[in-house]
C-alpha cells in the first residue's frame, strides 16, 4: 500500500519536476513563463502524434514521440522569445496568450485527427525498466528502481541543474540576469541572449514534461490532461525557493499529496479531494507571504530588459 | 505637483505606447481592425493547414453570430461576461496592477451569488426588487474581498500580484468544487456536483421571452460609462492613472500607493464578481463546474485590445462575444472544435502586443519625457 503510494509519487512528480526545472532556470534568468501550461499541452499532443505515426517501430516510437514533444515545446518557447525579448512585450501577457493558444490549438488538431484517422489515437508508451540488482532491494527497489527511463533521466537532471547554476561561470551569469541585468550587461554579458537560451531550454523541458503525460503516464492524449500541472510546476518552483534541490523536494511533496488523495478517494474516506488540490496553491501563497520561511524571487523577475535604456 | 502629475500622465504607458504620435482615428479604429484582419488571416491559415475550409467556417460563424436576431441576442449574452471581466482587468492594468485573478474573482462572486440565491434568499421578502440588488451586492462583496487578498499580500508582504492572483484562481476553482461537490452549496438531492438553481426572485429578467438576452448587459454598459467618467473625470481616476504610470513618482507627489492598490483591487474583484453573478442569475441558474470557460483569462485580451479604455472595452467585448458565439457554428456546421475561439483570442492578443511594440513602429526607441 505505502509502496504503491510512494511509487506513484515518484511517477507523478516526474512531469512536474521536468517542467519546474525549466521554469526554475528561466526564472533565475529573470523570465517568468506562465505559458508553461500551454507548452506542456503542446508537448503532450505532439508526443502522442509523434509516437502514433511511428507505431510500426515499437523500439523507437516513444523516443520519436518524446523528440516531437520537446520540439513542440521549443517552438512554443520561440514564439515566447520573439514576443517578449525581440518585441519587448510583457511576459505575463504573452504567457497567458500562449496558454490560451495551446488550449485551443491542441483541441482543434486533436479533433481533426479523430475525424481523419480511423484507428484509435494511441501512443506507444515507454515501458518500465527494472534496474538489475537495484530493483531487487525490498521496498526501495519497487519505488525507485522500477520506473520508466524518463523518470531516471529527470531525477538525474536535478544535480546537473544544481551544478550548472551554482558551480559554473555561465550559471553565475544566468543568476545575475535575474538579479541585476544592468550590472551583468555592463560587464559585457549579453542579457538577452542568456535569457533567450534559458527560455528555450525551459520550453524544451516543459514540452518533455507534457510528453511524459501522453507517452509514459497514459498512452493517449486528452486536452484536459495537463489539468493545471503547468501552474503547479510554477508553485513548485516558488515553494522550492528557486533552488533545484529544494524544487525537487517540493515536486515530490506535492506529488505525494496527490497520490495520497487518490488512495483516500479509493477508500472513500470522508475528506473532499479539493482540499488536496488546493493545498499546493495555499502553501505557495504562505511561502510567498513569508509565513513558512521567506522566499525571495529573483529581483528582475518578469521585468523586460532593454539594453538601450 | 500638478505639473508633475500631468507629466506622468503624458508619459507613455506600457501597453499603449508608441501609437500616440498617430491620429486618433488610426489609434482607435484602424489599428484594431488591422489586428483583427491579421488575426483572422493567421487563424485561417492554421485552419487551412488542418484541412478545413476557413471561408466556409468564417461565413458560418458570421451568419450565426450576427445574421439573425436570435444570433445577435446570443452574441450579446456572450458579450456580458467578457465586458464585465474586461472592465475588471482594464482598471487594474491602468493602475499598473497585473491582476490575472479575474477568473477566480468571477467564480467567488458567482459562489457568493449562489449562496445568497439558494440559501439566504428564503429569508427575505420574495420580491425581485429586493432580491436582485441584495444578491448582486453579495457577489460584489465576495469578488471584491477575494480581490483584496492579493492586495494585502502585496502591500504588507510585497508578494508579486501576478503569482498570487494565479494561485488564488486555482484556490477559487477548488473552493467552488468544495462547495458544490458534497459541500454546503451542493444541490439538495446531493447527487450531482452542482448547486440548486437560484430562486426565482433573484433571477435577472429577459427583454423578450424567446431570446436569452437579459438585463445584465445594461448593468455592464452602464458600468463601462461610469468607469470612463471615474477614470478620466475624477481625482480618484487621476491618481489611479498616475500610479499606473509610475508608482514611485506618484508616491513622491503625495499619492498613497498602498491605498490606491487596495481600492483598485477591490473594484477590480467586485467587477469580476459581479460578472459572475450576472451570468449565474440570468442564464446558468445553477452553479456547475463548467460555469466559466476562462472568462477571466480572455478578459486580458479584451482589455488590452481596447487599450484599457472602458468604452473601447465595449467594442472588444462585443467582438469576443461574436467570436465565442461564432465558434459554436464552426463546431456544429464545419466540425471544427469550439475551442478554436481560444486560439483566435490568443492570436489576437499576440497581434495586440506586436502592434503596440515600440520596435515595430518607431525605429528609435521612444524617448521618455
Instruction: Check: CB of residue A226 under 8 Å from CB of residue A13.
Output: no
How many CB atoms are closer than 10 A to CB A55? 12
Q: Is A239 exposed, middle or buried (0-12, 13-18, 19+ CB in 10 A)?
A: buried
Residue B369 lies in a domain: no
Nearest CA in chain A to B51: A112
Contact: B353, A104; criterion CB under 8 Å: no
**Total number of domains constituting chain A:** 1
Contact: B342, A281; criterion CB under 8 Å: no
Q: What residues contact residue B79 under an 8 Å CB cut-off, 6+ apart?
A: B217, B220, B317, B318, B320, B321, B322
Residue A302 lies in a domain: no
The string of DSSP codes covering A164-206 is HHHHSHHHHHHHHHHH-HHHHHHTT--HHHHHHHHHHHHHHHH
Nearest CA in chain B to A235: B167
Residue B208 lies in a domain: yes
Residue B366 lies in a domain: no
Residue A9 lies in a domain: yes
Q: Nearest CA to CA, how far is A232 from chain B (Å)?
A: 9
Structural domain for B109, as ranges: 2-336+352-361
Residue B343 lies in a domain: no
Contact: A274, B51; criterion CB under 8 Å: no
Using alpha carbons, select from A259, A280, A15, A250 the residue that is nearest to residue B174.
Answer: A280
* B214 phi/psi in degrees, rounded to 5: -130, 175
ipTM metric: 0.89
Q: Is the pLDDT of residue A206 over 90?
A: yes
Report the run of H or E that residue A127 belongs to, with start and end. none
Q: Supply the pLDDT for residue B284.
A: 67
Q: Supply the pLDDT for residue B364.
A: 39
Q: Nearest CA to CA, how far is B341 from chain A (Å)?
A: 7
Residue B205 lies in a domain: yes
Residue B175 lies in a domain: yes
Locate B343 and state its grid cell.
486560439
- The answer to whether the Cα torsion of B227, B233, B236, B240 is positive or negative is positive
Alpha carbons A95 and B355: distance in angstroms, whole number: 17
Give pLDDT tens digits for B35-84.
889 999 999 999 898 888 888 888 888 888 888 888 888 899 999 999 99
Residues of B (119-158) whose Cβ lies below 8 Å from A:
153, 157
Q: Nearest CA to CA, how far is A144 from chain B (Å)?
A: 31
Residue A307 lies in a domain: no
Q: Determine the 3-state secondary structure of A59 from DSSP.
A: coil
Structural domain for A85, as ranges: 2-126+133-289
Alpha carbons A99 and A105: distance in angstroms, whole number: 10
Give pLDDT tens digits for B71-110.
888 899 999 999 999 999 999 999 988 899 999 999 999 9
**Total number of domains constituting chain B:** 1
Which among A90, A93, A111 has CB closest to B337? A111
Q: What residues contact residue B191 under an 8 Å CB cut-off, 6+ apart?
A: none
Instruction: Check: CB of residue B113 under 8 Å from CB of residue B281.
Output: yes
Residue A294 lies in a domain: no
Average pLDDT of A174-193?
A: 88
CATH number for the domain harbouring residue B166: 1.10.3470
Residue B31 lies in a domain: yes
Using alpha carbons, select from A72, A61, A71, A19 the residue that is nearest to residue A231.
Answer: A19
Backbone dihedral region for residue A133 (phi beyond 0: left; psi -120 to 50: alpha; all else: beta): left
* B206 phi/psi in degrees, rounded to 5: -90, 155
Residues of B (13-32) whose Cβ lies below 8 Å from A:
14-15
Residue A221 lies in a domain: yes
State the DSSP code for B194.
Answer: B
Alpha carbons A229 and A231: distance in angstroms, whole number: 5
Alpha carbons A293 and B282: distance in angstroms, whole number: 45
Give pLDDT tens digits for B120-145.
878 888 888 888 899 999 999 999 99
Q: Which residue has the higher pLDDT, B179 or A270?
A: B179
Residue B345 lies in a domain: no
CATH number for the domain harbouring residue A154: 1.10.3470
Q: Is the pLDDT of residue A116 over 60?
A: yes
Amino acid at each position: 500500500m505505502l509502496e504503491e503510494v510512494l511509487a506513484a509519487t515518484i511517477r507523478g512528480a516526474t512531469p512536474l519536476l521536468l517542467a519546474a526545472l525549466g521554469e526554475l532556470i528561466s526564472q533565475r534568468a529573470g523570465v517568468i513563463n506562465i505559458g508553461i501550461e500551454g507548452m506542456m499541452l503542446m508537448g503532450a499532443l505532439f508526443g502522442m502524434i509523434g509516437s502514433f505515426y511511428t507505431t510500426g517501430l515499437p523500439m523507437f516510437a516513444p523516443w520519436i514521440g518524446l523528440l516531437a514533444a520537446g520540439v513542440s515545446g521549443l517552438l512554443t518557447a520561440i514564439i515566447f522569445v520573439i514576443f517578449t525579448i525581440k518585441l519587448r512585450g510583457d511576459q505575463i501577457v504573452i504567457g497567458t496568450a500562449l496558454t490560451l493558444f495551446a488550449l485551443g490549438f491542441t483541441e482543434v488538431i486533436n479533433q481533426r485527427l479523430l475525424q481523419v484517422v480511423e484507428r484509435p489515437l494511441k501512443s506507444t508508451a515507454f515501458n518500465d525498466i527494472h534496474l538489475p540488482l537495484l530493483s531487487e532491494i525490498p521496498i526501495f527497489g519497487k519505488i525507485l528502481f522500477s520506473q520508466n527511463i524518463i523518470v531516471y533521466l529527470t531525477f538525474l537532471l536535478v544535480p546537473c541543474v544544481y551544478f550548472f547554476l551554482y558551480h559554473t561561470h555561465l550559471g553565475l551569469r544566468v543568476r545575475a540576469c535575474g538579479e541585476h541585468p544592468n550590472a551583468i550587461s555592463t560587464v559585457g554579458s549579453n542579457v538577452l541572449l542568456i535569457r533567450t537560451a534559458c527560455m528555450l531550454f525551459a520550453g524544451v523541458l516543459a514540452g518533455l514534461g507534457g510528453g511524459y503525460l501522453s507517452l509514459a503516464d497514459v498512452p493517449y492524449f486528452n486536452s484536459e490532461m495537463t489539468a493545471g500541472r503547468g501552474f503547479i510546476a510554477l508553485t513548485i518552483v516558488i515553494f522550492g525557493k528557486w533552488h533545484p534541490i529544494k524544487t525537487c523536494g517540493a515536486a515530490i511533496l506535492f506529488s505525494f499529496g496527490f497520490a495520497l488523495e487518490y488512495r483516500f478517494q479509493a477508500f472513500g474516506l470522508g475528506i473532499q479531494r479539493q482540499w488536496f488540490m488546493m493545498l499546493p496553491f495555499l502553501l505557495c501563497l504562505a511561502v510567498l507571504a513569508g509565513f513558512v520561511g521567506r522566499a525571495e524571487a529573483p529581483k528582475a523577475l518578469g521585468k523586460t530588459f532593454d539594453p538601450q535604456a | 505637483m500638478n505639473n508633475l502629475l500631468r507629466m506622468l500622465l503624458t508619459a507613455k504607458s506600457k501597453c499603449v505606447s508608441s501609437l500616440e504620435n498617430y491620429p486618433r482615428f488610426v489609434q482607435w479604429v484602424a489599428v484594431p481592425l488591422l489586428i483583427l484582419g491579421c488575426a483572422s488571416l493567421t487563424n485561417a491559415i492554421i485552419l487551412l493547414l488542418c484541412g478545413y475550409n476557413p471561408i466556409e467556417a468564417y461565413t458560418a460563424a458570421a451568419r450565426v453570430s450576427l445574421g439573425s436576431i436570435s444570433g445577435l441576442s446570443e452574441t450579446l449574452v456572450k458579450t456580458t461576461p467578457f465586458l464585465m471581466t474586461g472592465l475588471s482587468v482594464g482598471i487594474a492594468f491602468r493602475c499598473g496592477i497585473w491582476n490575472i485573478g479575474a477568473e477566480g474573482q468571477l467564480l467567488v462572486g458567482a459562489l457568493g451569488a449562489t449562496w445568497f440565491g439558494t440559501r439566504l434568499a428564503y429569508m427575505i421578502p420574495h420580491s425581485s426588487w429586493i432580491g436582485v440588488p441584495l444578491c448582486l451586492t453579495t457577489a460584489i462583496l465576495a469578488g471584491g474581498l477575494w480581490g483584496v487578498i492579493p492586495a494585502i499580500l502585496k502591500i504588507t508582504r510585497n508578494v508579486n500580484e501576478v503569482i498570487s492572483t494565479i494561485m488564488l484562481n486555482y484556490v477559487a476553482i477548488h473552493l467552488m468544487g468544495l462547495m458544490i461537490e458534497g459541500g454546503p452549496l451542493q444541490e439538495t438531492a446531493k447527487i450531482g456536483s452542482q448547486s440548486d438553481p437560484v430562486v426565482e426572485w433573484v433571477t435577472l429578467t429577459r427583454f423578450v421571452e424567446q431570446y436569452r438576452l437579459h438585463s445584465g448587459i445594461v448593468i455592464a454598459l452602464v458600468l463601462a460609462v461610469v468607469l470612463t467618467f471615474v477614470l478620466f473625470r475624477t481625482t480618484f481616476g487621476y491618481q489611479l492613472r498616475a500610479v499606473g504610470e509610475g508608482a514611485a513618482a506618484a508616491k513622491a507627489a503625495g499619492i498613497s500607493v498602498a491605498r490606491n492598490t487596495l481600492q483598485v483591487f477591490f473594484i477590480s474583484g467586485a467587477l469580476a464578481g459581479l460578472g459572475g453573478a450576472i451570468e449565474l442569475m440570468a442564464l446558468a441558474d445553477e452553479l456547475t463546474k463548467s460555469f466559466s470557460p476562462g472568462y477571466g483569462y480572455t478578459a486580458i485580451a479584451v482589455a488590452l485590445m481596447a487599450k484599457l479604455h472602458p468604452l473601447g472595452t465595449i467594442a472588444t467585448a462585443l467582438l469576443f462575444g461574436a467570436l465565442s458565439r461564432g465558434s459554436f457554428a464552426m463546431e456544429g456546421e464545419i466540425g471544427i472544435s469550439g475551442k478554436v475561439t481560444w486560439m483566435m483570442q490568443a492570436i489576437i492578443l499576440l497581434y495586440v502586443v506586436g502592434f503596440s511594440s515600440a520596435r515595430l513602429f518607431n525605429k528609435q526607441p521612444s524617448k521618455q519625457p
